[in-house]
Structure 1
Amino acid sequence: MLAFKNLKLGTKLNLILISILISAIAACGIFLSRILETKIEQEVADKAFLIIETMNSVRNYTSSQVKPELASRLASEEYFIPETVPAYSAREVFEGLRKQPEYQNFLYKEATLNPTNPRDKADQFETEITQRFRQNEQLKEKTGFRTDGNGKFYYIARPLAIKKASCLECHDTPERAPANLVSTYGSEHGFGWKLNEIVASQIVSVPARNVYQAARQLQLSVLSIVGMIFLIAIALINLFLKSAIIQPVKKMALLSNKISTGDLDLQFNHNSKDEIGSLAKSLNRMVESLKMALQMIEEEED
């Protein structure tokens, strides 16, 4: 505190302004970070919800339109027709979408604990989510961020349960399943499902890395603009301080020093009506009063 008091007026003001600048940039950074984080989550969530609803439409179309048309072939074909399975159709449509560069890092999977098709096998993360759905049947959706080797993702997960008895025709026992399904996928996996049992999780993962990078760039741009505005303001304040306060005060200090040595013929000219102008007038009146007092003393001595 003592060292601050010993500094010059301009240095004190600059230190105060720089402190305000740093505080303002820090506050703007925190506030902007929270706003952008909310915006990021909303943006990636909107994309994820759009994809998962689109995939559900594909599943419904396959179940209601495609499968009935191919029902006659299912019993006679040597190999199983996977296009009749809603999960397969949704996955294939999504894989077609992923061929576009802007969607190549998006993920869709109906992660199954005991799948017929090995590519639908749930990994550890997906298994944990499915187990949560199985433990709490009131839980209808789970969302959040996850990070893996490919970056940060926002995910939406919904439980998939066996709601139709017709599904058990392929997943009850190998003996009841179509022969072409067993010959295509084998008899070891995808069986033993129960009606109303949650067997999988429908999961969409949307990459958040690009959105975060864009948000960080925007944040840096805004903070740079704020910093530049403050620096320009500091420069203008310094110019004003130098011309309107520091230089007049220095002149008055020099004048006062000369007056203290007996030079009473000096006048400080300052035309403004601000506080510096009032101080200048007071200084000039003091000089006049001092001259009058000295003159009276000389007359009395004479």
Structure 2
Amino acid sequence: MTKNIKLGIKLNILLAIIFLSITLAISFILSRILENYAEEIVADKASLLIETMNSVRQYTSSQIQPELSSRLETEQFFLPQTVPAYSAREIFENLRSNEKYSQFFYKEATLNPTNLRDKADKFETEIVESFRRDVGSREGKMADFQKYGFRTIPGGELFYIARPLAVNKESCLRCHSLPEKAPPSQIATYGKDTGFGWKLNEIVGAQIISVPASEVVRQARDLRWLVIGRVLIFLVLGIIILNIFLKLTITDPINKMSSFSKNLSTGDFSVEFQHESNDEIGILARSLNRLKVSLKMAMEMIENKPPKS
């Protein structure tokens, strides 16, 4: 099948295969690089925000809670400002009031929360349960256990970071062990049915922060196609330039030599093949010219040879 294909077409097919392979390789490598880069960008945002929320929690626990805890026994309604999770959530909701951060989400998803707005949904429940299994199956500090990844919601794609929430202080059990031990204001505000039965060192929830990733991912994909498009343009230009070079230095001289040889085969010795370069084509051209001279001499010798008597 390939016997009837011209040399230029064969070279173009070979170049097309090589350049296509290069393009696919570049596309794959670039995709991986840009995906990792996009993930790093959104992960940095999420990590910064979750550390900020932890600072808020620490501040509430160390400075606000001691000042207000005594009032929980006397107030008619519970003071949620004493709860680190409440403070962090409220501050984050204030941040979300800015249009720029409206698609950022923070939640301390809990399996059995006092405040039902912290109730874990199906996705969050799976994360909490996986933390419980991981902590139970391997050793390590609670801070070492972290999950992250992408999550698709109706509004777009989110990147989330989740960390386990455990009961690590005896003081937490004041409000979460038994209803009889809880402050009266808590019972009056939230009732006796939720937020109890917690145990020391038990993982009760997950601290989850989600940041929008759709825009970053889209920009990474646009950049990938832009780079691939530029690469294809340069590859096509390379093919064109290489074709011109091959035509001028190889295929055209070969075609001329073919025509020259055809004329020689018919006895036309008036033509002269000129090729000034010293490359392989030039060597072949000089050989053909010597062959022409040799054939001409041989023909003349035959013609001038006297006939036998």
How much identity, in percent, do the aligned residues show?
Answer: 54
Q: TM-score, normalised by structure 2?
A: 0.90
Change (3 A) 1:97 1:301: farther
1:144 maps onto 2:148 in alignment = yes
Contact 1:63 1:85 in 2 (8 A): yes
- Contact map agreement 2:151 2:160 (CA 8 A) in 1: no
Matched positions, count = 300
Match of 1:76 in 2: 74
Describe the SS at the equivalent of 1:175: helix
Q: Supply the distance in 2 between the matched residues of 1:29 and 1:256 (Cα, whole angstroms).
A: 47
Distance 1:159 1:252 in 2: 80
Query: What is the SS of the residue equivalent to 2:179?
Result: coil
Give the stretch that moved more between structures: 132-141 or 194-203: 132-141
Q: Distance in 1 between matches of 2:220 and 2:238?
A: 27
Q: C-alpha displacement at 1:175, in angstroms?
A: 2.6
Find the aligned partners of 1:288 and 1:133 in 2 and give their Cα distance: 91
- Partner amino acid, structure 2, of 1:65: Q
* Residue in 2 that maps onto 1:128: 126
Measured in 1, the distance between the counterparts of 2:275 and 2:303 equals: 31
Q: In structure 2, what is the Cα distance between the partners aligned to 1:19 and 1:132?
A: 48
One-letter identity of the residue aligned with 1:35 = I
Counterpart Cα distance in 1 of 2:200 and 2:279 = 88
Give TM-score scaled by structure 1 length: 0.92
1:145–1:152 Cα contact (<8 Å) kept: no
Q: Deviations over 1:247-275 (max 9, x none)?
A: 22222222222222221111111111111
For residues 12 and 222 of structure 2, the distance between their equivalents in structure 1, rounded to whole angstroms, comes to 29
**2:182 is the counterpart of 1:177:** yes
Match of 1:88 in 2: 86
1-side partners of 2:259 and 2:59: how far apart? Answer: 92
1:155 shift after superposition: 2.4
Match of 2:257 among 252, 264, 274: 252
For 2:98 and 2:291, how far apart are their aligned partners in 1?
A: 85
Residues 146 and 164, structure 2, Cα contact 8 Å, conserved in 1 = no
Listed one character per residue, the Cα deviations across residues 117-164 of structure 1 (whole Å, up to 9, x for unaligned) are 110001122222222333343463232324343343332222212222
Any unmatched runs of 5+ in structure 1? Answer: none
Task: Report if the CA contact (8 A) 1:252-1:280 is conserved.
Answer: yes
**Structure 2 regions of 5+ residues with no counterpart?**
none
Judge conservation of contact 1:160–1:201 (CA < 8 Å) in 2: yes
Deviation of residue 284 (structure 1)? 1.0
How far apart, in 2, do the equivalents of 1:241 and 1:199 lie?
A: 72
- Residue of structure 2 equivalent to 1:153: 158
Deviation at 1:72, TM superposition (A): 4.7
Distance change in 2, residues 1:101/1:6 (3 Å): farther
Residue of structure 1 equivalent to 2:273: 268
CA distance in structure 2 between the partners assigned to 1:128 and 1:92 by the alignment: 25
The question of 1:241 aligning with 2:242 is answered: no
1:57 corresponds, among 38, 55, 58, to: 55
Q: Cα distance, 1:194 vs. partner? A: 2.0
Cα deviation, residue 83, structure 1? 1.4
Contact 1:79 1:183 in 2 (8 A): yes
> Root-mean-square deviation (CA), in Å?
1.9
- Is residue 105–residue 210 contact of structure 2 (8 Å, CA) maintained in 1? yes
